[in-house]
Amino acid sequence: MSNKIIIDPGVLSIDRIIKLNKSLNNQIILITAYQELLKKFKKKDKDVNIYLYPHISKKDKLPEIKNLKLNPVMVWQKIINDHQTFLLYDRSKFLPFSSSLKVSNIIEDVLRCIFWFEKMKPNYLIYMFMPHSLETWIFARVSEFFGTKVLYFQSTILPWRFFFFEGIKKKPYLVKIKFNKKDKIKSESKILSEFFTKKTGGTKNIMPKYETDRLEKNNNKYFSFFREIFRSWPRIDLFINKFLCYYYYQKIAQTKNVSDKFVIYFLHYNPERTTLPESFGFAQQYGAISALSMALPKNVKLYIKEHPSIFTYQCHWKERTRFWYEMINKLPNVKFIKIEENPYDLIDRSVCAATVSGTTAVEAVLRNKKVVIFGTGPFNYLNTNLIHRYSNINDLKKFFITKESLNFDISKYFNQIEDKTHCGISTFNTFQEIENNLEKVTHNAIFSGIDKFLTSKK
């Protein structure tokens, strides 16, 4: 292998990564943000080539800056001018540094990354998903300035198939790898049918399993005061914030009005990768909500429904506060909807659904409902007049008043992406089995993609 390839293994199986590396004569270089993970790899294989990110440990003095070939000022200025860098900083760091100190910290991180790349000179940098921590974000952005290609996986609307993309941008390049006939899965048409039936059927099992499990532990309550005290005592600040948010949300939330024409916007759980960085400008959802509010026809309301996990899991004051809800509630045509309202019923009764890049958009499209999306998410190669990808207010206004025949054919979509995506089905034969083993399915698809890519670079 003449190419030098760096992989951040994330939470992928250590054994499978080492086996893959051995099959390629130890040509892979691993990099991680976690000292413990580095130790685990070394314990499994003392010869494994693994590093910590250069800006994780800052004990060493910086080398001579004037010897750098890449213009460091140009690099750090562009990274700092990207507002997502600061949003990731706030997500990743607990201490409330001033903006001035954040800039200094980022500049030092950029310098250390440039030194590392000029020493290592890698051709490719591979991630499980789009980099979404401060450490991986800065490293990957410096990588692209250096000329190293950043590759990562992105889900499709089918949770067992994944794209392999190049480039940290809203419209990335597809990493083209030749597929063989043996890669086709015989049972996939059956699984596709089961997936479509479940997503377009009734409301049974509408929530993912992790959410129904949390509700069961809460005696089917979205917020349990006494359980939250017991669970959150190490972080009383988070408990107080959730308490204030939940009871204010309950106060302002309404039941749907059968006479209302409305667009339903489903809030994302935060923090998560699908809003930061995959929203590319709409990580703060108030921006998407205000854009919708401005674009709606006069007789149409904007319904907002909170994500259940905000109350069943974590409601962080970095992402939600009572005052944030108040800001949204002040918009003239906006209504918060009770958390107990059925999402499928809201989709079916709406004139349109909206989200940054959430799976509710998938469910809406499958139910032949118009959808507005603001980010990227699983919607690449999803070409249908049901979807409006936000670009400007005027086009959004036109989308709301456009009347045309709308229909989505999932079989055509599957045929379009089959030879562009990596499948993680393996031994699973039903969609229920896939849902029950989603992490394993995801990892199977990622290993399949990495293996094919590395083999093609031999």
Distance CA 400, CA 238 (A): 38
Provide Rg for the chain, Cα atoms.
Answer: 23
pLDDT digits (tens, 9 = 90+) for 252-292: 999 999 899 999 999 999 888 999 999 999 999 999 999 99
Output DSSP code: residue 375. S
Share of the chain above pLDDT 90, in %: 72
* Token pair belonging to 289: 């909500």
Residue spans in the chain of domains classed CATH 3.40.50.2000:
191-415
pLDDT at 297: 95
pLDDT of residue 311 exceeding 80, the answer is yes
pLDDT of residue 76 exceeding 90, the answer is yes
pLDDT of residue 183 exceeding 70, the answer is no
pLDDT digits (tens, 9 = 90+) for 412-456: 999 999 999 999 998 899 999 999 999 999 999 999 999 999 988
Three-class SS state of 372: strand
**Which has the minimum average pLDDT: 115-124, 178-187, 239-248, 390-399?**
178-187
pLDDT digits (tens, 9 = 90+) for 114-126: 999 999 999 999 9
pLDDT band at residue 37 under the 50/70/90 scheme: very high
DSSP string, 47-71: T--EEE-TTT---SPP--GGG-SS-
Cβ neighbors of 259 (< 8 A, separation 6 or more) are: none
pLDDT digits (tens, 9 = 90+) for 108-160: 999 999 999 999 999 999 999 999 999 999 999 999 999 999 999 999 999 99
pLDDT of residue 208 exceeding 70, the answer is no
Distance CA 430, CA 432 (A): 5
pLDDT of residue 205 exceeding 60, the answer is no
For 191-415, the fitting CATH number among 3.90.50.10, 3.40.50.2000, 1.10.10.10, 3.40.50.450 is 3.40.50.2000
pLDDT digits (tens, 9 = 90+) for 213-255: 777 777 777 887 777 877 777 889 999 999 999 999 999 999 9
A 10 A CB-CB count for 56 gives 16
Higher pLDDT, 443 or 359: 443
Distance CA 283, CA 377 (A): 12
Distance CA 413, CA 158 (A): 10
pLDDT at 305: 97
Residue among 294, 455, 297 at smallest CA distance from 390:
294
Distance CA 114, CA 444 (A): 33
